[in-house]
Amino acid sequence: MTTAALTHTSALTARQLRAAWRIPVFLVMNFVQPMIWLLLFGQLFKSVINIPGFGGNATYLEFLTPGIVMMMALFGSAWAGTSYIQDMDRGVMDRLLTSPTNRGALMVSTLVYQAILTIGQTLIVLGVAWLCGARFGGGPVGLAVLLVAAILLTAVFSALSNAVALLARDQGALIGISQLVTIPLMFLSSALMDTKLSAGWVANVAAFNPFEWAVIVGREAMQKSPDWSTIGTHVGLLAALAALMVWVATTAFRAYQRST
């Protein structure tokens, strides 16, 4: 990126952070919600670890934590397009497009903003899990890999959300499509339950689920002896899909520009 693009990206990202800071309830929900998910599911299903053939982790909380991290990244990024719709409705987008604002920065800044939220949520989830007794052997390297997977997942669905927002230009449509996509992806994965204990077709579908790819990377990275081949394969898949989704969002943005 050029210096101008970096400057504009920083300014636009700061704009979104300031907007979030002015509405404290938004930040509170973003950082409290992960704890609710973690503690609720951790207590509801803590005994499933005793089912023969389940996971192999010491506790269900240790199995669950990477899944909760990715759930927060998935659900948060699926709403990324709302900022575009709000800017369209308020006329802000038109003013930005008639200004010298770098077009790439308009897209990248939303991804950076969502990535910052994802990192914050991840650290909170891991901190609460540790306080509740979960212990992970991955160390700093494992944490870094977990964050990379969460950020890539955020990029995939933030870009998709942005594309939907730019094409649909309607908040209701974005909400409906986001729920239609994210809920099945969550349940067709091992985020909450080992797919070996599910119907066979669930595991088959999960193999093509990008959310599952991120869960696999996060869970494997936090092990004491991770399978780096598995991690590398799924990180590569996530990176390729993120690049594809960014291209889709960029194409949608150009279509929006032509129509205005």
Per-residue confidence of the chain (260 residues) as pLDDT tens digits? Answer: 578 778 888 988 898 888 877 877 777 777 777 788 888 888 888 888 888 777 666 788 999 999 999 999 999 899 888 888 988 888 888 888 888 878 888 888 989 999 999 999 899 899 999 998 888 988 999 999 999 999 999 999 999 999 999 999 888 899 899 989 999 999 999 998 888 888 889 989 999 999 999 999 999 999 998 999 999 999 999 999 999 999 999 999 888 888 86
3-state secondary structure 131-164: HCCCCCCCHHHHHHHHHHHHHHHHHHHHHHHHHH
**pTM for the structure as a whole:** 0.91
Q: Is 224 helix (H, G, I), strand (E, B) or coil?
A: coil
Q: Is the dihedral of CA 222, 35, 161, 18 positive or negative?
A: negative
User: Among candidates 57, 60, 24, which has minimal Cα distance to 39?
Assistant: 60
The H or E element that residue 217 is part of is: helix 210-221
Residues 6+ apart with CB under 8 A from 133: 59, 61
pLDDT of residue 183: 92
- Report the phi/psi class of residue 209: left, alpha or beta, with left for phi > 0 and alpha for psi in -120 to 50: beta
- Extract the tokens encoding 67: 């899944």
Interatomic CA distance for residues 236 and 149, integer angstroms: 10
* pLDDT score for 56: 63
Handedness of CA 62, 202, 159, 164 (dihedral sign): negative
Half-sphere exposure of 196 (CA within 13 A, CB side): 9
pLDDT value at residue 149? 97
Burial (CB < 10 A; 0-12, 13-18, 19+), residue 214, is buried
The torsion angles phi and psi of 126, rounded to 5 degrees, stand at -65, -40
At 30 the pLDDT is 72
